[in-house]
Structure 1
Amino acid sequence: MARLELEHTLNERNSHRGSGNIPIEDGIAITKYQNREGWAAIPFIIGSMVGLTLSISSWASNLIVFLKKEFNVKSIDATQINNVVLGFNTLLPVAGAIVADVFSCYFVISFFAFLSLLGMILFNLITTIHCLRPSPCELMGSISSCPSPSRLQLAILYITLGLASLGVGGTRFTIATMGAAQFDKPKNQRAFLSLYYLFFYVANGTSLTAMIYIEDNVGWNLAFRICLVSNVIALVLFLSGKRFYRRKPKVERNPFLSIVHVVLAAVKKRNMSGTFGNRDYYYGSVETTNILGDGPSKSLRWLNRAALKVDGDHEQQSSRSNARSWKLCTVEEVEDLKTLLKIIPFWSSTILVSVTISMFNNLVILQALTMDRHIGSHFQVSAGSLVVFNLISVAFSVLIFDFFIIPIWKKLYPHRALTLIPRIGIGHVINILGLVAAALIERRRLHVVRTHQLSSISIVPMSALWLLVPLGVLGIGEALHLIGNIMLFYQEFPKSIKNSSGAMAALILGIGYYLTIAITDLVHKTTRWLPDNINDGRLDNVYWMLAVIGAVNFGYYLICAYKYRYVEKSNDNPNDI
């Protein structure tokens, strides 16, 4: 409560400095659009996100095919390059968010969207200028001869992938936190995040269907031209909305240095003992003294020493030049670090959920390749396109849950609020049920294989549409737990590092991706569940294993939920879904 009051007070002070009717923020006059909470900026933010997502997902989701067809890269090498790029695409947003917390979201998004544009220009040049890629493979008798790319061609390819990946890192989650920052009320922030991820999944689904179809059946030239136009529109749209965006107050100190500051100050004063009163702590300003005058909280007390004044500290802090002394920090900085430490267990409880989803998404394609994918007598669905149904499920679940179920619940039960922690927990349970469904369907598939005594190259006479059941169920769970976690992180993170809250989801996906590689390799080497031909394996046991992992992780989540206390409480019920 104290932290919420402090942020509100400081916001009021920053927004209304100046004379007359023109608000002043850090010495800069701001427009009436920037001064009010509203949705005027949101079309520019969501529109630019959709354009960038269409551009980014179109090349990233089909990179292996591009490397094999256009650069004659061998399958294993193409997979390794794809793994490196995918790893960068999931971890670079963390760096992008950190930079945005130090500088401003507007600058970071504009700069990295431009880098993404440079990457798309190079992709277009590669597919247009023949000397920038190796010659196509030639069939000499029964042997295919494929020229290897030159060092120059590989260098241009890697520069292209680097620029495009940097574009992902600086925009993907930073845009979301910038959009949420346009609002003061938590209910409006959550409404925006729901709308944002609804359009995000729709854009991803479009890339995985229409754009990949163009790449595979029409040509890379046309596909990359569409991506280039999409990126240009996104960048122009984002820049056009500048007068509507709220300005971020100038950062007086790097928020991440403040975290280090608290730890070092607490360690230096670790030997101090005794009984200390509220006046023994340093608050930094009159506003924080009035609001946090009761002193630091009782939890994680060893950190409180960082704000404890000792002989000489007061004199040092009276001079602005010495105000950044590493011997003393404010109570607010201590409380911000405590908040961050308290949210880490929740963050860690989502990593194994990410592992189960990532492994399933990889294995379900292998299942689909062995099953009947025909719809009718003439149309056959590609194995990779089945995953799109998961994105569709997430998008519809967000739409139904946040825009229909929750409003109806509030009307029927106005005094029984649904909070974010139960929402995330329900998502965990649904995720487990989806894995159980996957295990049962795979058991049925293996039964058909053994009943018909099929060979490794035979198609199992069982419709691949059965796989839509676990894909849909997991999509519902993802709409609840993943987006719920993003909302919780943004809501609970200290204001100084709000942008990094969105990147926590990216870090979860990145760690989950690398753990997926390790677990898959371990299962492959220690069991017979994952042979090269899954018809001879026990993929159902892998799904049961993932369900058990999810159940154990859910128990850990319940412990975290029981111990956790929301940071912000106000009349607006920020913790209410």
Structure 2
Amino acid sequence: MDSSTNSKLKPFVDKEEAQEKPGRERGGWITLPFIAGSMLGLGLAVNGTTSNLLVYLLKEYNVESIDAAQIANIARGSLNLVPVAGAVLADSYLGSFPVILAGAVINLLAFVLFTLTAAVPSLRPPHCTSPSTVGCQHGSPGQLVMLYAAIFLLAIGTGGTRFNIATMGADQFVSTREQDTFFNWYFVFLYGSFIVGDTAIVYIQDGVSWAVGFGVCLAASTFSLAMVLLGARYYRMPATKGSPYTDLARVVVAAVRKANIQVDTNGGVHYNVGDGVVVDSTSDGAPSKSLRFLNRAAMITSASDNFGGASCPNAWRLCTVQQVEDLKSLLGVFPLWSSGIMVSVSIGVMIGMIILQALVMDRSLGPHFNIPAGAISVCSLVAFIVATPVLDRAVFPLWHRITSTPASPLQRVGLGHVVNVVGLVAAALVERRRLGSMRAHPGVPMSVLWLMLPLSIVGAEEALHFPGNMAFYYLEFPKTLRSLATAMAPLLIAMGFYLSTVFMDVVRWVTVWLPGNIDQGRLDNVYWTLAVAATLNFGYFLVCVWRYKYHNRGTGVAM
């Protein structure tokens, strides 16, 4: 993440917000080992399981290949959608630590179920030598209930932990500089744990046994829970201040209730700033002119809205200017946010399909080792980790010297859109070569190492796109919605994985490109279609940037 941009981010917690027990210093770098240990344990367990879930469904539950890819994508989407609910819960009522603790316990229960499904033969259908064929027996309702319960608990547990850990970690520091350093470490530990999960865990599951692999995940999640508990005495835990989402709802209700009131545009309107302060429409403290309908929520329109009476104004009829502006900032971000969905859809399709490609390619690495198909996606994680320091230390400083301005978050996101199109083109070309090689040399599959090219480009794209989005949301979101800002990037990923299943269903319905056996299909045409759609989406992104008005003008960011 660009340090020049991070240094401008608002602190997560002000000094007066820190609730510390007398006589004990809380927060600071002493908390990092506990937070990092918790992240590493959960990261390798969760990512190792989700990366190999498609293969588990194919080999142990005899699910048809495209269906397995769609189920795996829905699971990945849930693992990125549920953290939004966890963020809302932490922001509004409980704080980060209790939500993280509950999530860690639920993750532990999830891996107990996963281990049972792998260790107890009666919880799986009989093994089939030719998976996904008509003659193979599929899982019974009871067996599938156990499997889907494990996936459900994994999604709920991850919703409480993955991104609330980022918020709690930042809460341990007061200065923006220290928070910036923490976020750099956060991404290092997060993607480092993903790499371990995608390699070591996947290899154990494929090469040793599924029961041992899930057992290691169970041990890792137990370690993660222990680290959360051991660090509790050192954490700074800011008190919550009620639900900011209730304030947003009040703005909508108040504006609707005053929808029929005529607004005097000649300075005759007064607005509630809060604490008994009133300004007119010509003052600096008046609401902005964008989304003017919402300004009615802060407009004083009757005696019941005034401050002179004995009772306080109705909060569902009269809001403050700041509450109105907070909702405007949230609504203003959504068009730009929506432009990232197509990027996530393309990544979701590519990750699922590349695992199916790897299963029919030559995965040998020397005479005695085969690369597990579920581990091939580690290439994108490695590319992300390699690309991040290169961008931070070489590309962005060069950009600064050439343009005399630092690369803004939206500029990085825009460059990520371009790299995403390049990755889809590379995936299409590799698949076209694979199909040609298969037909020219039957029985001699192409090396799986060819898949490293599109996956590496995807990793570089993610290093631009997702940290840039996260920095942008922090800059533009109200401070009361800091956990929601953290969850906006994973929400993009969730929408992408969900919609990727819809996209594949549509492709299967209107074309013959995705049969059960991809060797008989035209996956390259799927990638070409996505490349065209991603190019059009980049145009939509540029329009959104052109129309967007920054709420945080003091940051100096621009496209």
Residue-by-residue CA offset, 1:123-159 (whole Å, 9 max, x unaligned): 445556x4873686599xxx999796684x6655554
**Residue 196 of structure 2: aligned partner:** 206
Measured after TM superposition, the shift of residue 549 of structure 1 is 1.1
Aligned 8 A contact 2:74 2:497 in 1: no
What are structure 2's unaligned runs of at least 5 residues?
1-7
Q: Distance in 2 between matches of 1:414 and 1:333?
A: 37
Aligned 8 A contact 1:316 1:325 in 2: no
In the alignment, is residue 340 of structure 1 matched against residue 324 of structure 2? Answer: no
Residue-by-residue CA offset, 1:542-565 (whole Å, 9 max, x unaligned): 222111111111111111222223
Aligned pairs for 1:425-574 within 5 A: 425-452=414-441, 454=442, 458-460=443-445, 462-570=446-554, 573=555
Q: Distance in 2 between matches of 1:164 and 1:538?
A: 34
**Residue 300 of structure 2: aligned partner:** 309
Q: Distance in 1 between matches of 2:370 and 2:250?
A: 60
In the alignment, is residue 236 of structure 1 matched against residue 221 of structure 2? Answer: no
1:538 to 1:69, Cα distance in 2 relative to 1, 3 A = closer
- Matched to 1:179, the amino acid is G
More moved, 546-555 vs 232-241: 232-241
Measured after TM superposition, the shift of residue 201 of structure 1 is 1.9
Q: Distance in 1 between matches of 2:393 and 2:71?
A: 40
**Residue 381 of structure 2: aligned partner:** 391
Measured after TM superposition, the shift of residue 196 of structure 1 is 1.7
- Matched to 1:558, the amino acid is L
Pick the aligned partner of 1:113 from 80, 90, 104.
Answer: 104
Aligned 8 A contact 2:14 2:174 in 1: no
Q: Distance in 2 between matches of 1:527 and 1:57?
A: 32
Aligned 8 A contact 1:194 1:483 in 2: no
In the alignment, is residue 355 of structure 1 matched against residue 340 of structure 2? Answer: no
- Matched to 1:242, the amino acid is A
What are structure 1's unaligned runs of at least 5 residues?
16-23
Aligned 8 A contact 1:112 1:166 in 2: yes
In the alignment, is residue 381 of structure 1 matched against residue 371 of structure 2? Answer: yes
Aligned 8 A contact 2:270 2:278 in 1: no
Counterpart of 1:325 in 2: which secondary structure?
Answer: coil
1:400 to 1:445, Cα distance in 2 relative to 1, 3 A = same
The TM-score normalised by the length of structure 1 is 0.82
Aligned 8 A contact 2:306 2:313 in 1: no
Tell me the number of residue pairs that the alignment of Structure 1 and Structure 2 aligns. Answer: 542
Aligned 8 A contact 1:280 1:308 in 2: yes
Q: Distance in 1 between matches of 2:421 and 2:219?
A: 41
Residue-by-residue CA offset, 1:394-418 (whole Å, 9 max, x unaligned): 12212332355546766x5795222
- Matched to 2:38, the amino acid is S
Measured after TM superposition, the shift of residue 304 of structure 1 is 0.9
Pick the aligned partner of 1:257 from 246, 253, 258.
Answer: 246
Counterpart of 2:377 in 1: which secondary structure?
Answer: helix
1:160 to 1:377, Cα distance in 2 relative to 1, 3 A = closer
Counterpart of 1:375 in 2: which secondary structure?
Answer: coil
Counterpart of 1:371 in 2: which secondary structure?
Answer: coil
**Residue 196 of structure 1: aligned partner:** 186
**Residue 133 of structure 1: aligned partner:** 123
1:278 to 1:512, Cα distance in 2 relative to 1, 3 A = farther
Q: Distance in 2 between matches of 1:345 and 1:134?
A: 45
Measured after TM superposition, the shift of residue 509 of structure 1 is 1.8
Counterpart of 1:207 in 2: which secondary structure?
Answer: helix
Measured after TM superposition, the shift of residue 266 of structure 1 is 1.0
CA RMSD of aligned residues (A): 3.7
Q: Distance in 2 between matches of 1:287 and 1:45?
A: 43
Measured after TM superposition, the shift of residue 318 of structure 1 is 6.8
1:437 to 1:318, Cα distance in 2 relative to 1, 3 A = farther
Aligned 8 A contact 1:45 1:175 in 2: yes
- Matched to 2:252, the amino acid is V
**Residue 18 of structure 1: aligned partner:** none
Counterpart of 1:283 in 2: which secondary structure?
Answer: strand
Pick the aligned partner of 1:328 from 313, 318, 321.
Answer: 318
Q: Distance in 2 between matches of 1:378 and 1:386?
A: 18
- Matched to 1:41, the amino acid is T
The TM-score normalised by the length of structure 2 is 0.85
Residue-by-residue CA offset, 1:47-80 (whole Å, 9 max, x unaligned): 311211122223333335556766x565578777
Pick the aligned partner of 1:180 from 170, 175, 188.
Answer: 170
- Matched to 2:425, the amino acid is V
- Determine what percentage of the aligned residue pairs are the same residue: 40
1:274 to 1:145, Cα distance in 2 relative to 1, 3 A = closer
Aligned 8 A contact 2:269 2:299 in 1: no
Q: Distance in 1 between matches of 2:524 and 2:139?
A: 40
Aligned 8 A contact 2:171 2:237 in 1: no
Counterpart of 2:492 in 1: which secondary structure?
Answer: helix
Residue-by-residue CA offset, 1:241-277 (whole Å, 9 max, x unaligned): 334433334314x211211111111111122221364
1:555 to 1:295, Cα distance in 2 relative to 1, 3 A = same
